[in-house]
Amino acid sequence: MILLNNAEVELQKEYMNKVKELNTKKLKYYILTMGCQLNENDSEKLCGMLEEMNYEKTEDINLADFIIMNTCCVRENAEEKLFGKLGEYKKIKEKNNAIIAIGGCMMQEKHIIEKLNKSYPYVDIIFGTHTLHKLPEDIYKILNKQKKVQDILDIDGEVFEGLPIKRNDDKKASVTIMYGCNNFCTYCIVPYVRGRERSRKPEDILKEIKQLADEGYKEITLLGQNVNSYNGGIVNGKEYNFANLLRDVNDIDGIEIIRFVSPHPKDFKADVIQAIKGCKKVSRILHLPLQSGSTAVLKKMNRKYTKEQFIELAEKIKKEIPEVVFSTDIIVGFPEETEEDFEDTLDVVRKVNFEQIFMFIYSRRVGTPADRMENQIPEEIKHERFDRLKALFEQQIEENNKKYIGTVQTVLIEGKSKNNENTLTARTSTNKVVILDGDESLIGKLVDVKIVSQHVWFLKGRIQK
């Protein structure tokens, strides 16, 4: 279902103007973003609104007149981080009379709000995932001497178009195509804090990407918690599912690389594979989140595929598109995970030979079914399994890297290398970092390089003449 509420966006634009009038001189804001790329993209919108209201970004919190934190709650360390930071923010508030705003996923959790209200009364603005666009109104109220603004909605938010945006990069851009998640994997908090799936209209997405191409952007990442369940409805007789959206994005001149995160294996249908095959700009590293290699654990996780189905899917994609490599997410220590279950995970890792693995230790999330399961795995076993998975993966990276040596790769030059000003850093279509010698005029360009050596976390290349 697609919902739009332009009147609300217009209203917030009026508030932006009002705040701008109140902020007669340039003020500074400091932003901290936790969590996934969707949150990063939300933060770009928060920055866009703040800059419309006469705030400019600072990396030095000591100079901040406005402090904003966009939170994540997918794993518990994020909570420690939030409460740790708030003490620091209080000192800045006392010194600079700064406004403190906290938003994002963690604010959708009742126990967090209770704790904030009880122990951190100096936080000025609290907003949730469905009320991000109301930041201008919230700031206006605080500037008009309202003591505290708490703006959280439990119902699903609407899809808003036309908010200003200040992007972090001038070559690579993220474009959110759908919000929310319907999958309710039993370990995961996201469906509770982000609500049900809502897709943006294809014409709005395509318009945004065309504009990015005109501005010189080369790489686009399409974002959603479950991108391949994108449902943009029917426009001019054409059904806008994920496969068709991908094809239209591929046709946009100027865009050279298309990535997307995260697809769900259960929705990786034949038409999506065919679309990727036919769309040469789509990156040849595909994210295929495994979570566990044990069919029994996958069932308890509510992932809706078995170990065999996952392996078959990877093989099927590889058969259609031989140059594809995979990245994945794996959770170790899910409740009731046995040694045999964990061995199954290692087995899939050996068979699929992932290029990149994001590994997580299972973290209990209040309100999720897995948190209520009885046989939680002791911390030391979780850590021991994590280390074994990591060791296997590191062994595989070196082997995989060796396959690149001697090949010619088309890479996007991203900038100067962080460790050595005289070298450039680039990425292959499969997301490998390549370090090479070259002139800085090449930044932002696609260049053919020959890979000469591998160094575990990066490859070295030489420009092909």
Q: Which residues bind ligand SAH (CB under 6 A)?
A: 74-75, 187-188, 190, 225-226, 262, 264, 289, 291, 329, 331, 360, 362-363, 365
Is residue 333 a contact partner of residue 362, using CB atoms and an 8 Å limit? yes
Among 73, 132, 324, 436, binds ligand F3S (CB under 6 A): 73
Q: How far is it, in rounded angstroms, from Cα 430 to Cα 354?
A: 11
261 binds ligand SF4 (CB under 6 A): no
Give me the least distance between CB of 209 and ligand SAH, in Å please: 22
Specify the residue, 332 or 436, whose C-beta has the smaller distance to ligand SF4.
Answer: 332
35 binds ligand F3S (CB under 6 A): yes
List the x/- string, 176-215, binding to ligand F3S by CB under 6 A: --------------x--xx---------------------
Give me the least distance between CB of 409 and ligand F3S, in Å please: 30
Closest of 280, 283, 282, 304 to residue 292, by C-alpha: 304
Which of ligand SF4, ligand SAH, ligand F3S, none lies near 191, with the C-beta cut-off 5 to 8 A by kind?
ligand SF4
Give me the least distance between CB of 154 and ligand F3S, in Å please: 16
Q: Which residues within the stretch 88-127 sit at the binding site for ligand F3S (CB under 6 A)?
A: 105
246 binds ligand F3S (CB under 6 A): no
Specify the residue, 19 or 227, whose C-beta has the smaller distance to ligand SAH.
Answer: 227
Is residue 64 a contact partner of residue 95, using CB atoms and an 8 Å limit? no
**Cβ count within 10 A of residue 215:** 11
332 binds ligand SF4 (CB under 6 A): no
Q: How far is it, in rounded angstroms, from Cα 145 to Cα 135?
A: 16
Among 41, 226, 363, 409, binds ligand SF4 (CB under 6 A): 226
Specify the residue, 70 or 345, whose C-beta has the smaller distance to ligand F3S.
Answer: 70
Q: How far is it, in rounded angstroms, from Cα 343 to Cα 23?
A: 60
Specify the residue, 104 or 293, whose C-beta has the smaller distance to ligand F3S.
Answer: 104
Specify the residue, 375 or 422, whose C-beta has the smaller distance to ligand SAH.
Answer: 375
Which of ligand F3S, ligand SF4, ligand SAH, none lies near 39, with the C-beta cut-off 5 to 8 A by kind?
ligand F3S
Among 74, 142, 222, 249, binds ligand F3S (CB under 6 A): 74
Which of ligand SF4, ligand SAH, ligand F3S, none lies near 184, with the C-beta cut-off 5 to 8 A by kind?
ligand SF4
Specify the residue, 136 or 191, whose C-beta has the smaller distance to ligand F3S.
Answer: 191
- Residues binding ligand SF4 (CB under 6 A): 181, 183-185, 188, 190-191, 225-226, 264
- Residues binding ligand F3S (CB under 6 A): 35-36, 38-39, 72-74, 105, 190, 193-194
